[in-house]
């Protein structure tokens, strides 16, 4: 029998959980980087070529995997975006940004003090004002493929 989320000491079930994975085409580029690592070392012989292939492929795959491992979650009364954890009561009304507005908020409308979990390959986003007077961050910009789901989860967490 699994413990219910209401019991103390058990983790709350996420209301929203999204991983901002990279597009599949990036993995093709990773394979091409691996091949070029091998081609660069080809004049030195087959063993260095194989070493270059493996090393370049491993480094490129680690970079792509790391960049695509960012997560946005709403758990209990907190918004967890990347390494940031913000209590929902410290946030204002979230705003769904379509592709055009998201582009504007990550370019000419952007505030350098804002927290941005930005992935350019995700066209939509959510902008959430930070209402805590002690926090100098004016808003959170969160790239998400499901902006309405994130807003709904934040509103549900606020309604507790």
Residue 2, pLDDT score = 36
CB-based contacts of 61, cutoff 8 Å, min separation 6: 30, 34
Question: Contact, 128 vs 73, CB < 8 A?
Answer: no
Pairing mode, strands 139-143 and 115-117: parallel
Sign of the CA dihedral running 107, 112, 115, 118:
positive
**Does the pTM exceed 0.85?**
no
Per-residue confidence of the chain (160 residues) as pLDDT tens digits? 333 344 444 456 678 889 999 999 999 999 999 999 999 999 999 999 999 999 999 999 999 999 888 999 999 889 999 889 999 999 999 999 999 999 999 899 999 999 999 998 999 999 999 998 888 999 999 999 999 999 999 998 887 5
102/79 Cα distance (integer angstroms): 20
Q: What is the DSSP string of 104-160?
A: HHTTTT--TTSEEE--TT---EEEEEB--TT----EEEEE-S-HHHHHHHHHHHHT-
Residue 11, pLDDT score = 55
Residue 76, pLDDT score = 83
Q: Write the burial class of residue 112 (CB in 10 Å: 0-12 exposed, 13-18 middle, 19+ buried).
A: exposed
Residue 5, pLDDT score = 43
60/74 Cα distance (integer angstroms): 30
């Amino acid at each position: 029998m699994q413990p219910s989320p209401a019991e103390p000491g058990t983790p709350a079930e996420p209301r929203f959980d999204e991983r901002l994975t990279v597009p599949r085409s990036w993995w093709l580029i990773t394979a091409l980087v691996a091949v070029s690592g091998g081609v660069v070392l080809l004049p030195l012989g087959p063993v260095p070529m194989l070493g270059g292939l493996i090393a370049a492929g491993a480094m490129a795959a680690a970079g792509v995997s790391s960049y695509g491992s960012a997560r946005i979650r709403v758990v209990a009364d907190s918004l967890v975006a990347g390494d940031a954890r913000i209590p929902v009561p410290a946030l204002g009304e979230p705003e769904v940004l379509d592709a055009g507005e998201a582009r504007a908020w990550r370019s000419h409308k952007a505030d350098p003090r804002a927290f941005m979990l930005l992935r350019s390959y995700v066209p939509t986003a959510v902008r959430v004002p930070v209402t805590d007077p002690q926090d100098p961050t004016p808003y959170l910009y969160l790239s998400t493929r499901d902006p309405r789901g994130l807003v709904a989860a934040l509103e549900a967490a606020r309604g507790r």
